[in-house]
Structures are given as C-alpha cells and as structure tokens.
C-alpha cells in the first residue's frame, strides 16, 4: 500500500520504481570459455558473477532476466595484461630518463588515468602493473581510484617501486649527480627484507626485483643481487602472501631468480635451453615481452620490413625458440608503456605473426593461462561462479588474432563499460 501511495504522489509506476533485473542473458555468436570456442552458447550473468553458461537451447532466459543480443560477436573472458607500466608513456614521445626526472608525479598520474581507460576499453580487464618507474607509490592511489569507481580502468595488481641493487639502475647522467632513481635501492639480506616489507606495507600486491641490469650505459646486463638476497626476498614476500617477479635477461640472473622461487621472469632475452628447462622444472613462467624490443628498435631508427633485424631482436628469436622447445610455461604481457596503452594486442599479434604461436595458444595465454600463472582463480575463464569480466569481439580470435583489436563490448564486474 505504501508503495502505491508513493507511486501516486511521485507519478512513477510501481514497475518503474523497481530496481533493474539482476540477471542478464548474453547471446553472442560464440563463446570462448578460456580454453575452447563454443558456437551457439550463451552466458547468464547475475550481478557481478557468471551464473551459468551453455548451449542456447539448454539455457533459456529465466523469468525476469534481460537478454542482450551480441550478433556476430565472440564472447570471451576479459583479457589479462601480464606486464604493463601505466605510469609510463611511449619512449618516442618522452625518453624514460626524462619521464623519471622531469615529469611531475601529478602529470604522470593524470596521464595514467587516460592509460587505464584506454586499456579497459581495449578489452583488458586485469593488469599486472610491474613498477611505477620513479613515481613512488602513485600506483597505489591509481588502483584505489579505479576500485572506488572514481575513474574507469582494469583491476590492478601493483608492484609499486620495484627493487634494484644500489648503483645498478637509472637514471644516470654523470658521476657528480645523485639522481632520483626509477626504483628503490636495497642491498644485503637485511636491507632487501626491510624494503620488501616496506613496499608490502604501502600496498604492493607483487614484489618486483631486478635480478640483473646494466651497471653502465654501454655495458651488457650482469647479475645484481646474490642468490642469498633473492631467496630471502622471495621468502619474505611469500610469508606475506605476495609473489615475486624478476626482471632478468642474463642466464645467471635468470638462474638465481628461478632458484629463489620467483613466480615469473620478465623478458628473458638471453635465456638458454638449459635455463628454460630449469624454469620449467621449478614451475617458473617466462613473460617474454616481445613487443617492447620491437618498439624500442623502431624508436632507435630500425625500419621494420626494410632493414635487417637488429641484433637485439635476433637474440630474442633465438631465446624464444629455446623457450618454446623447453616447454617452459609462458605468461603473456607486452611491457606496455614502452609503447602505447590501449595497443596491448601488439604483443599477441607479434607472437602469432613472428614467433610461431597459434592464435588459440595466445588467446588462451591472455585469459585462462595468465589467470592460472598469476593465481587469479576468480577470472580468466567463463564458468559459473567466476567474475563477470567479459568482452565481445568481432570475428573469431582463435583463428584470427587481429580479432582481439575489434573489441565491441566490455563488461567489468558485471557492469557494461563499453558498448
């Protein structure tokens, strides 16, 4: 009776006053569930979770459900970006040194809000952001702003400042200047343990260590942290429920990180068959970031398709060949920020077009495989009970990887954010 009186006073019908139905039936041309393509399947979403999935004939719309037709589209789990830096922008716009030294944190955060939106609209609903690169703990606030609905963006797993051995990182201009660094310096078991705990206390979901780096601008990369230091860092982080990832490109740096028990090794440019087999035996995944080297080489003047490949890319081809031969698990991420945010699919395309992976393997990689490696058990697949992070693309990405560029519709946490 009270509702009827209120409706009469406000001029609103009882039906109009009701909340929208919580059930939404999605009817695409096909569903990729994270492993297999299923033509003719539908997905039922209840608030922010997947309630049911299956053939349309076996899953009619429940009473009160709303139906959304997605004709000609493939529905798949929201993509998971394995390696990004939302607080960086492409190095052909501003060099890394200048971003760290001359751009204010306020400017970098303002830019990052745009990066977050572009990333989400490109179909990436989860991102591992592996280091603020001189912007301190700004990624903590960026994540909070997204989580609180202040700005649009993907779910973030953040590494905050990252950890480097003193003297091994940058920027470096000359020996007379003591410059702000792009990561936190820490040395010795006690110093490293203290820094790991500090970053976790500030909000880090992930601890990132640089297991090797260039001591000087014209030197090759060399190991930085000792085996004891890396092992203690992993133990300290693991006790707090955080994984450790390692930037590593030398065989020795990769070996130490693997023996320490990191979750993933990023880049791995100089990896050998022996090292990749060790990683495979220890359950350590490789995130090869092939798009970053491709982009940087072009920034330095390489004319792709017109000139021979630089030595850096030839070495990458050799290491990737060894990685695929070894059976090491692959995580998928492009080191986005080196190139433009929203262009994340560049990594997927290169892996298919130039490194011999199948479209199906890469789409699995950016969905269920990344979720499994990063221990994200609530996403990466389309099955009952998981988060309703879903995207729809034009075409079949399991046959044509370029379909991942044709994102027509995005849902995050049960809310449609692009259509």
Residue 6 pLDDT > 60: no
Give me the percent of the chain exceeding a pLDDT of 70. 95
CA distances for 90 relative to 94, 96, 110, 180, angstroms: 7, 9, 15, 20
**Rounded Cα–Cα distance for residues 383 and 380 (Å):** 9
Q: Is residue 138 within 8 Å of residue 109, measured between CB atoms?
A: yes
The yes-or-no verdict on residue 148 having pLDDT over 70 is: yes
Report the distance separating Cα 205 and Cα 60, nearest Å: 40
pLDDT at 218: 82
Q: Identify the band that residue 15 occupies on the pLDDT scale cut at 50, 70 and 90.
A: very low
Closest CA to 165 of 218, 229, 220: 229
pLDDT tens across 386-406, in order?
999 999 999 999 999 999 999
In angstroms, rounded to a whole number, what is the distance separating the alpha carbons of residues 381 and 79?
A: 10
Q: What is the rounded CA–CA span in Å between residue 319 and residue 325?
A: 10
Superfamily of domain 17-77+382-418: Urease, subunit C, domain 1 (2.30.40.10)
Rounded to the nearest 10°, the torsion over CA 385, 389, 395, 398 is -60
pLDDT digits (tens, 9 = 90+) for 234-260: 999 999 999 999 999 999 999 999 999
- CATH number of the domain at 79-343, out of 3.20.20.140, 1.10.3470.10, 1.10.3210.10, 3.20.20.70? 3.20.20.140
Cα–Cα dist 381/209, whole Å = 29
Q: Report pLDDT digits (tens) over 75-93.
A: 999 999 999 999 999 999 9
- Tell the residue number behind the tokens 């079949």, with chain if given: 396
Tokens 């090797």 — which residue?
212
pLDDT exceeds 60 at position 266: yes
Which of 349, 380, 371 has the alpha carbon at shortest distance from 362? 349
Say whether pLDDT at 34 is over 70.
Answer: yes
List, for residues 105-134, the tens digit of each pLDDT value: 999 999 999 999 999 999 999 999 999 999
Please state, in angstroms and rounded to a whole number, the distance separating the CA atoms of residues 269 and 396: 31
Q: How far apart are CA 286 and CA 13, in angstroms?
A: 58
Is the pLDDT at 175 greater than 70? The verdict is: yes
CA atoms within 13 A on the CB side of 246: 37
* The pLDDT value given to residue 177: 87
Question: Do 17-77+382-418 and 79-343 fold alike per CATH?
Answer: no
The model's pLDDT over 217-232, given as tens digits with 9 standing for 90+, comes to 889 999 999 999 999 9
**Predicted local distance difference test score (pLDDT) of residue 21:** 63
| 26's tokens | 């999605």
pLDDT at 176: 86
Exposed / middle / buried, residue 141 (Cβ in 10 Å: 0-12, 13-18, 19+): middle
Q: Give me the helices (H) in 261-344, please.
A: 273-282, 290-299, 311-326
Degrees to nearest 5, angle at CA 399 with 394 and 401: 65
Residues 6+ apart with CB under 8 A from 41: 28, 30, 31, 33, 53, 54, 55, 56
More confident of the two residues 38 and 7: 38
**Domain spans of the chain, in order of start:** 17-77+382-418, 79-343
Is residue 314 pLDDT above 50, yes or no? yes
Element (H, E) at 161: none
Query: What residue has token string 């999605």?
Result: 26
Per the listing, tokens 């697949």 go with 381
Residue 309: phi, psi to the nearest 5? -65, 140
Q: Which of 254, 316, 247, 253 is nearest to 280 (CA)?
A: 254
Q: Is this prediction's pTM over 0.75? A: yes
d(Cα 38, Cα 65) in Å, to the nearest integer? Answer: 22
d(CA 202, CA 139): 10
């Amino acid at each position: 009776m009270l509702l009827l009186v209120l409706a009469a006073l406000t001029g609103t019908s009882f039906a109009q006053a009701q909340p929208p139905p919580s059930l939404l039936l999605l009817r695409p041309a096909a569903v990729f569930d994270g492993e297999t393509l299923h033509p003719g399947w539908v997905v039922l979403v209840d608030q922010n979770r997947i309630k049911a999935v299956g053939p349309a004939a076996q899953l009619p719309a429940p009473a009160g459900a709303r139906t959304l037709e997605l004709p000609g589209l493939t529905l798949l789990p929201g993509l998971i970006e394995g390696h990004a830096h939302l607080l960086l922008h492409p190095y052909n716009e501003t060099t890394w040194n200048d971003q760290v030294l001359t751009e204010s944190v306020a400017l970098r955060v303002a830019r990052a809000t745009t990066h977050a939106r572009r990333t989400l609209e490109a179909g990436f609903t989860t991102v591992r952001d592996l280091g603020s690169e001189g912007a301190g703990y700004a990624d903590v606030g960026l994540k909070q702003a997204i989580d609180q609905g202040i700005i649009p963006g993907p779910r973030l797993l953040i590494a905050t400042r990252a950890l480097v051995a003193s003297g091994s990182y940058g920027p470096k201009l000359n020996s007379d200047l003591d410059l702000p660094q792009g990561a936190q310096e820490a040395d010795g078991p006690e110093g490293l343990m203290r820094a790991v705990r500090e970053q976790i206390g500030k909000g880090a979901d992930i601890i990132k260590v640089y297991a090797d780096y260039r001591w000087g601008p014209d030197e090759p990369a060399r190991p930085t942290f000792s085996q004891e230091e890396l092992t203690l860092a992993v133990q300290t982080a693991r006790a707090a429920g955080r994984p450790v990832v390692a930037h590593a490109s030398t065989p020795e740096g990769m070996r130490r990180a693997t023996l320490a028990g990191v979750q993933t090794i990023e880049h791995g440019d100089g990896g050998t068959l022996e090292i990749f087999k060790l990683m495979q035996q220890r359950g350590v995944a490789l995130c090869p970031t092939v798009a970053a080297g491709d982009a940087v080489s072009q920034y330095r003047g390489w004319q792709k398709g017109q000139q021979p490949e630089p030595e850096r890319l030839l070495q990458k081809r050799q290491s990737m060949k060894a990685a695929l031969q070894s059976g090491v698990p692959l995580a998928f991420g492009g080191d986005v920020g080196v190139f433009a945010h929203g262009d994340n699919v560049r990594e997927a395309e290169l892996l298919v077009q130039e490194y011999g992976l199948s479209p199906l393997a890469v789409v699995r990689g950016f969905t269920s495989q990344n979720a499994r490696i990063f221990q994200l058990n609530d996403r990466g697949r389309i099955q009952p009970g998981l988060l309703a992070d879903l995207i729809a693309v034009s075409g079949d990405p399991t046959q044509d990887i370029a379909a991942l560029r044709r994102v027509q519709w995005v849902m995050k946490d049960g809310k449609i954010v692009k259509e």
